[in-house]
């Protein structure tokens, strides 16, 4: 599943939380997931509202006890990791707060680890942020997209005093992304640091192609001349057109047809050794194939496009493995259809000794033969011959054995 955040009236953590609830996340499931966090003194409430002809949900984190804690990144991270959240939700929540710390640090000229969160370290902001990460997981949202953002004017009251709108941290969070600001004739903060952190960390600033499955409207607390809400559109990517052979022709040619899931992810900040390890992990976990292609990513960083093929029943498990054991924050999944040849491995005798060869088949017809690399290597070492010489001799012997040179 994918989702599009339509920020026609801005975006904040509580608005996103309300939109997720309106789009289908069960309030009891969200409360149960958040209850595992070592965080007390709050109650998550949700009310159905209607403004300017639009119905939706207003979510609110009501604090039940006074709190004066100014948490740092390590404190918030410890709360998140102790919560037993689904793995992708935990990684997303951690990444959002990491980005917040980096933005606040850049604004104040200190290291991210030294940032003392005020507003975004409060209980309600932690619940909003982790709740959004958990809500996306409960809806099964993999890829997130975001619209243009409304650029307003005025000031907002914060712990450091009155700040210009957009707040400095909000601008820093969105710097370097593809976010586009659209001027709006209004005063006050419509894009909050928490909302900006979520979309800056998790979303791509473009409109996706999708089949709509659900919509949700999450309302803010301010009264505006329009419906003050964010709209969440949840859907599925359209099935990619498949270049099909005429019906039955693949089968008549002795080829098979099956359905798979293509898993893709753009990855940077990983060494070649780490990418190799990930490939081995995926193959041993049941991936049908794994490959990398070079990419040039944002800020001119080199990266790699990971493509893994999976049986439909294995796709989500392998996707979770990629998120857990790589630097990526998400993966793309799309169904695909394959037309495939058969495969069989047989042992044959060659002038250099026994060797295994792989047969590519169309029904019972042999299309090609290819020696097993491990056997070629063993024969080359035993005979003290170049690997290419051994490969040529074994291939020739295999073709004669199966009558391919007749």
CATH code of the domain in which 360 resides: 3.10.20.300
* Coil, helix or strand at residue 206: coil
In this predicted structure, what is the pLDDT of residue 120? 52
Residue 261: C-alpha distances to residues 9, 19, 249, 394 (Å): 37, 29, 23, 36
In this predicted structure, what is the pLDDT of residue 118? 62
In a domain, 248, yes or no: no
In a domain, 381, yes or no: yes
H or E stretch at 45: strand 42-51
Q: How far apart are CA 289 and CA 266, in angstroms?
A: 17
In this predicted structure, what is the pLDDT of residue 160? 60
Percent of the chain with pLDDT over 90: 65
Question: pTM of the prediction?
Answer: 0.61
In a domain, 355, yes or no: yes
Percent of the chain with pLDDT over 70: 94
Confidence grade of residue 341 (pLDDT, cut at 50, 70, 90): confident
Confidence grade of residue 158 (pLDDT, cut at 50, 70, 90): low
In this predicted structure, what is the pLDDT of residue 240? 54
Number of domains forming the structure of the chain: 3
In this predicted structure, what is the pLDDT of residue 199? 95
Helix boundaries (H) for 190-348: 193-202, 249-252, 272-284, 315-325
In a domain, 244, yes or no: no
280 and 377 in a single domain? The answer is: no
Give 140-154 pLDDT, tens digit per residue: 998 999 999 999 988
In a domain, 245, yes or no: no
148 and 293 in a single domain? The answer is: no
In this predicted structure, what is the pLDDT of residue 176? 87
Rg (CA), the chain: 27
* Coil, helix or strand at residue 309: strand
58 and 192 in a single domain? The answer is: yes
In this predicted structure, what is the pLDDT of residue 116? 80
In a domain, 246, yes or no: no
Q: How far apart are CA 404 and CA 396, in angstroms?
A: 9
In a domain, 242, yes or no: no
272 and 222 in a single domain? The answer is: no
Residue where a domain terminates, one of 209, 236, 263? 236
Structure tokens at 15: 């608005």
Q: How far apart are CA 229 and CA 223, in angstroms?
A: 10
299 and 384 in a single domain? The answer is: no
Residue where a domain terminates, one of 300, 317, 340? 340
38 and 127 in a single domain? The answer is: yes
Give the pLDDT mean for 227-242.
Answer: 84
List, in sequence order, every residue forming a beta bridge with 51; answer none if it has no partner. 54
Give the pLDDT mean for 247-267.
Answer: 81
Residue where a domain terminates, one of 201, 236, 271? 236
Lowest mean pLDDT among 179-188, 246-255, 319-328, 345-354: 246-255
User: Can you give the residue range of the structural domain that contains 32?
Assistant: 2-236
Lowest mean pLDDT among 79-88, 115-124, 217-226: 115-124
The residues, any chain, with a CB within 8 Å of residue 225's CB and separated by 6 or more, are: none
Give 356-396 pLDDT, tens digit per residue: 999 998 888 898 999 999 999 999 999 999 999 999 999 99
In this predicted structure, what is the pLDDT of residue 50? 95
207 and 335 in a single domain? The answer is: no
Residue pair 10/191 in contact by the 8 Å Cβ criterion:
yes
The residues, any chain, with a CB within 8 Å of residue 94's CB and separated by 6 or more, are: 77, 80, 81
In a domain, 145, yes or no: yes
Give 5-54 pLDDT, tens digit per residue: 999 999 999 999 999 999 999 999 999 999 999 998 899 999 999 999 99
Asked if the model's pLDDT at residue 81 lies above 60, the reply is yes
Q: How far apart are CA 219 and CA 129, in angstroms?
A: 16
């Amino acid at each position: 599943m994918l989702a599009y955040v339509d920020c026609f009236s801005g975006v904040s953590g509580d608005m996103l939380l309300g939109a997720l609830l309106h789009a289908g996340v069960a309030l009891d499931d969200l409360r149960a997931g958040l209850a595992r966090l070592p965080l007390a003194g709050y109650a998550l409430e949700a009310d159905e509202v209607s403004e300017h002809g639009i119905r939706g949900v207003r979510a609110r984190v009501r604090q039940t006890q006074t709190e004066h804690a100014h948490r740092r990144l390590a404190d918030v991270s410890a709360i998140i990791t102790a919560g037993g959240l689904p793995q992708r939700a935990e990684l997303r929540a951690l990444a959002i707060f990491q980005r917040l710390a980096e933005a606040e640090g850049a604004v104040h000229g200190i290291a991210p680890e030294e940032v003392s969160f005020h507003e975004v370290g409060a209980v309600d902001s932690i619940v909003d942020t982790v709740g959004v990460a958990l809500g996306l997981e409960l809806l099964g949202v993999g890829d997130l997209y975001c619209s243009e953002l409304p650029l307003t004017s005025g000031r907002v009251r914060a712990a450091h005093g009155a700040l210009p709108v957009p707040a400095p941290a909000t601008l820093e969070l969105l710097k370097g992304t593809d976010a586009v600001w659209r001027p709006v004739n209004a005063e006050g903060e419509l894009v909050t640091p928490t909302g900006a952190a979520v979309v800056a960390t998790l979303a791509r600033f473009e409109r996706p192609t999708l089949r709509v499955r659900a919509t949700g409207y999450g309302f803010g607390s301010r009264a505006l001349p329009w419906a003050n809400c964010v709209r969440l559109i949840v859907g599925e990517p359209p099935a990619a057109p498949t270049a099909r052979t005429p019906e039955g022709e693949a089968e008549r040619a002795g080829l098979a047809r099956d359905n798979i899931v293509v898993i893709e992810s753009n990855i940077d900040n990983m060494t070649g050794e780490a990418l190799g390890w990930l490939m081995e992990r995926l193959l041993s976990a049941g991936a049908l194939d794994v490959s990398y292609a070079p990419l040039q990513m944002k800020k001119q960083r080199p990266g790699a496009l990971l493509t893994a093929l999976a049986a439909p029943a294995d796709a989500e498990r392998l996707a979770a493995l990629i998120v857990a054991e790589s630097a990526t924050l998400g993966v793309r999944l799309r169904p695909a259809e394959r037309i495939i040849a058969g495969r069989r491995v047989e042992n044959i005798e060659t002038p250099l000794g026994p060797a295994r060869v792989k047969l590519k088949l169309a029904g019972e017809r042999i299309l090609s033969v290819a020696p097993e690399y491990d056997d070629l290597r063993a024969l080359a070492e035993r005979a003290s011959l170049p690997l290419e010489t051994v490969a040529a001799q074994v291939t020739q012997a295999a073709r004669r054995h199966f009558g391919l040179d007749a």
